[in-house]
Amino acid sequence: MQGLQKNPPSSNLKNGDDNMLIINGRILTMTGTDYEHGYLYSKGKTIKKVGDMKEFPETIREQCQKEKDQVLDVQGAWVMPGLIDAHCHVGIAEEKWGAIGDDCNEVTTPVTPQIRALDGINPMDPAFHDAIQAGITSLMTGPGSSNVVGGQSVFMKVQGRCLDKMVVKAPAAMKIAFGENPKVNYGDKDKMPGSRMAIAGMLREELYQACQYEEKKKSGNINQGEEDFRMECWIPVLHGEIPLKAHVHRADDILTAIRIAKEFGLDMTLDHCTEGHLIADEIAESGFPAIVGPDLTSRSKIEIKNMSFKTAGVLERAGVKTAIMTDHPVSLIQYLPLCAGLSVKQGLSMEGGLRAVTLHAAEICGTADRVGSLEPGKDADIAIFSGNPMEVFTRTLYTIIDGNITFQNVSYSQPAGQQVL
């Protein structure tokens, strides 16, 4: 093959709706099929073809020549799906502004299903840029854990100025919380909940009322104009369209969350799952996935005294689908791949570590139809690394979101030359 011209090191990289060809990469699709010497072709925002360089289609070569498409010769670099943080507070708990930039918790009332993270995120939060530089292309962000019911999380891309254009799924989950945070926040104000019993009781009561409301609506006993806005927020949860996103650290809180979700027949993710390694078999039996972390932080509360990077590996071996989180700003968003690497160091498989921040994260967040793997038809969200991203010396070379190069490492350049195939 002849005639494909790559971009010189300092060229103006094309973005927008242009096509892109990545060649000579170590392609890790996360689907079980990898290519040691592969290519990836995208058109606009969508991946069109992934394969081995030995089977590079003549039609793509002709298309690239005709359209003068962007060609990246990555010379053996790791080409992966853009990384995903399945639980953080980027944009809603801003790093630099203290209380002024903290919109993470509505601490005036303990049950707030009607609150939407979408209405509190600042897309200008510098943490979004830090994420891009780390090869992270999407994330789940949302309310904190001060309330029994915190509100609705959103799954979004990390590049953009208008939040509505960055959204992949909203609402993406309903945040609930067990343990110290709601207990301390309201118990200190002489309000419910002041105990773990009260947290569970208030959640059950809210879910019971939501179920009753849904039955009335289904049977036609709620007229137009008589809808209850707060109860309406529970309909996607009751219909299995989005999961409960349960803040749980201690083993007994994890089991309480499982008990309540089973009682009402709801989907749920077990977020933090700090003592999950102590009850791994019970979690596996429940069928609920876990989003583990943040472990790259101090043991700042009693309920995380058993925090360990070994948790993800123990859960994986028990058969629990597991993702890794930063809980930014608790651990900083850019350390997501490092957190996965430290989990691998403590027993998580290498494949499990990579999937915990790509495909498994997407599957748990309900967005695997668009992100999490390199497959035709999925979003062209791609991260290119100098090596394994879970290793501390690895550099991010390119971050590509919706087919746009949003980050290029200025210290990395392609060698001069014209013929790349």
Instruction: Residue 257: count other Cβ atoms within 10 Å of its Cβ.
Output: 27
Instruction: Check pLDDT > 60 for residue 417.
Output: no
The contacts of residue 295 (CB under 8 Å, 6+ apart) are 307, 308, 309, 311, 331, 339, 342, 343
CATH 2.30.40.10 fits 19-81+375-408, yes or no: yes
Q: Please give the full DSSP string across 237-300, using - where no structure is assigned.
A: HHTTSS-EEEEE-SHHHHHHHHHHHHHHT--EEEEE-TTGGGSHHHHHHHT--EEE---SS---
Average pLDDT, the chain: 92
Instruction: Residue 227: count other Cβ atoms within 10 Å of its Cβ.
Output: 12
The contacts of residue 367 (CB under 8 Å, 6+ apart) are 138, 155, 168, 169, 172
- Looking at residue 1, what is its pLDDT? 42
Provide the β-strand partners of residue 383: 80, 399
Mean of pLDDT values over 115-141: 96
- Looking at residue 62, what is its pLDDT? 85
Of 150, 100, 155, nearest to 291 (Cα)? 155
- Please state, in angstroms and rounded to a whole number, the distance separating the CA atoms of residues 81 and 382: 5
pLDDT band at 365 (very low <50, low <70, confident <90, very high): very high
Confidence (pTM): 0.94
Is the Cα dihedral 381, 387, 391, 394 positive or negative? Answer: negative
Instruction: Check pLDDT > 60 for residue 414.
Output: no
- Please state, in angstroms and rounded to a whole number, the distance separating the CA atoms of residues 126 and 227: 39
Q: Rg of the Cα trace of the chain?
A: 23
Instruction: Check pLDDT > 70 for residue 162.
Output: yes
- Looking at residue 11, what is its pLDDT? 39
- Looking at residue 413, what is its pLDDT? 63
15 vs 130, residue with greater confidence: 130
pLDDT in tens, 317-331: 999 999 999 999 999
Q: At what angle do helices 196-218 and 251-264 cross, to 10 degrees?
A: 20
- Please state, in angstroms and rounded to a whole number, the distance separating the CA atoms of residues 67 and 44: 12
Number of alpha carbons in the 13 Å side-chain half-sphere of residue 394: 23
- Looking at residue 15, what is its pLDDT? 52
Q: Which helix (H) or strand (E) holds 186?
A: helix 180-187
Q: How many residues in the chain?
A: 421
pLDDT in tens, 250-306: 999 999 999 999 999 999 999 999 999 999 999 999 999 999 999 999 898 999 999
- Looking at residue 189, what is its pLDDT? 85
- What is the residue extent of each domain of the chain? 19-81+375-408, 83-365
Of 17, 14, 7, 27, nearest to 384 (Cα)? 27
- Please state, in angstroms and rounded to a whole number, the distance separating the CA atoms of residues 205 and 244: 15
Provide the β-strand partners of residue 271: 247, 291
- Please state, in angstroms and rounded to a whole number, the distance separating the CA atoms of residues 54 and 421: 10
Can you read off the two tokens belonging to residue 335? 């350390």
- Please state, in angstroms and rounded to a whole number, the distance separating the CA atoms of residues 169 and 70: 29
pLDDT in tens, 203-258: 999 999 999 999 999 998 888 888 899 999 999 999 999 999 999 999 999 999 99
Main-chain phi, psi angles of 387, to 5 degrees: -170, -150
Nearest-5° angle of CA 387, CA 82, CA 274? 90
Mean of pLDDT values over 54-67: 87
- Looking at residue 8, what is its pLDDT? 42
Instruction: Check pLDDT > 70 for residue 13.
Output: no
| CATH architecture, range 83-365 | Alpha-Beta Barrel (3.20)
Instruction: Residue 48: count other Cβ atoms within 10 Å of its Cβ.
Output: 17
Least confident of 135-149, 356-370, 403-417: 403-417
Nearest-5° angle of CA 264, CA 265, CA 268? 100
pLDDT band at 12 (very low <50, low <70, confident <90, very high): very low
- Please state, in angstroms and rounded to a whole number, the distance separating the CA atoms of residues 56 and 420: 12
Instruction: Check pLDDT > 70 for residue 14.
Output: no
Under DSSP, the state recorded for 116 is B
